Amino acid sequence: MAIALRKPDEIEKLRAANKIVAGALNLMREHAKVGVSLKKLDAMAEEFIRSHGAKPSFKGLYGFPSSVCCSLNEVIIHGIPTDYKLHEGDVIGFDIGTELEGWFGDAAISVGVGEITKEDEDLIACAKDSLYHAISIIKEGMRFKELSFELEKFIKGRGYIPLRSFCGHGIGKKPHEDPEIPNYLDSPNPKAGPKIKNGMVFCLEPMICQKNGKPKILENGWDVVSEDGLRGSHYEHTVAIINGKADILSTL
C-alpha cells in the first residue's frame, strides 16, 4: 500500500477542489425542500460546480450517471437521482465529488426535509457526530485501524451499526486512492497496519445502519441499502494531516 504524502501546495490545490464541494453541498442543504425533484437538485449542483471551473467527478465514474449521489431514506449511499419529488419527513443524503485542475474533492451530508422524526434526527446526528469525533482524535502516528476502531465504537455507542463492505479512502490525483478506511475494525488488532503521517489526505465517511450492517445493492446497480430495510445516514469530509492534526479541506 503506497499512501501519498502531499506537499503544502498540493494540499492547497485539494482544498480548492473541496471548497467547491462544500459550496455545492450547502446549495443542496438550502434547496432540499418539499416538492423539489432529485434530478433538479443534481442539475443545480452540476451547474454550481462547473460555474466554479471544476468538473463533477462522479459523473461517469465507474459508470455512475449523475453528478450527485442522492440517497433517499432507506438508500444509504450511491443513490441515483430520479424524478422523485421530496416529501415532508424524508431523509436525503448528498455525496458530491469535484475535479479541479487534476485534483479531487469529496464530501457528503444527510439532511431532513421539513419536519422529521426524533428517530431520524438521531440517525443523522450519529453520522455527523461520529465523523467529527474521528476528526478530533486524529494525530500523527495513530494507525488507520485505530481510527476505524474508534469510529465503530462511537457508532455502536449510539446504538447503530456501520455499513459493511464500503469505506473511507485516500484522495488526491484520483478520486479514490490508498488507504481504505472502514468504519469498523476489519482485523483483530487495531495496532497493526499503516500509520497516519503529515501530508496524508483522505476521506472519512461514516455510513450508518440501524440493525444490520450487511449491504444490499438495488436493481439499478447503484443504490446501497441495509438488509434491515431501514433508513440510514451518511456524512463525509476530506481531511489533510497538517502539523500532526486533521485539517478539514471540504469546508468553506
Distances (CA, A) of 103 to 172, 219, 240: 6, 32, 14
Q: Average of pLDDT values for 77-87? A: 98
Is residue 232 within 8 Å of residue 90, measured between CB atoms?
A: no
- Residue 100's pLDDT band, with cuts at 50, 70 and 90, is very high
Mean pLDDT in the chain? 98
Nearest to 235 by CA among 135, 149, 147: 135
Number of domains, the chain: 1
What is the pLDDT at residue 192? 95
Q: Average of pLDDT values for 107-129? A: 98
Q: In the predicted model, is pLDDT for residue 86 greater than 90?
A: yes
For the entire predicted model, the pTM comes to: 0.98
Handedness of CA 4, 9, 10, 14 (dihedral sign): positive
What's the pLDDT tens digit per position in 38-72?
A: 999 999 999 999 999 999 999 999 999 999 999 99
The CATH number linked to 166 is: 3.90.230.10
Residue 26 lies in a domain: yes
What's the pLDDT tens digit per position in 189-208?
A: 999 999 999 999 999 999 99
- Buried b / exposed e over 1-17, threshold 16 CB at 10 Å, is eebbebeeebbebbbbb
Residue 1 lies in a domain: no
Q: In the predicted model, is pLDDT for residue 1 greater than 80?
A: no
Helix axes 8-31, 38-51, angle to 10 degrees: 150
Judged on CB neighbours under 10 Å (0-12, 13-18, 19+), 184 is middle
Close Cβ partners of 209 (under 8 Å, ≥ 6 residues apart): 76, 160, 161, 162, 163, 226, 228, 230, 232
Is the preceding omega at residue 179 within 30 degrees of 0, hence cis?
yes
What is the pLDDT at residue 215? 98
What is the pLDDT at residue 236? 99
Residue 3 lies in a domain: no
Give the integer Cα–Cα distance in Å for 77 and 81.
Answer: 12
What's the pLDDT tens digit per position in 2-35?
A: 999 999 999 999 999 999 999 999 999 999 999 9
Residue 21 lies in a domain: yes
Q: Average of pLDDT values for 218-247? A: 98
| Type of residue numbered 143 | R
Residue 206 lies in a domain: yes
Residue range(s) defining the domain that contains residue 27: 8-248
What is the pLDDT at residue 238? 99
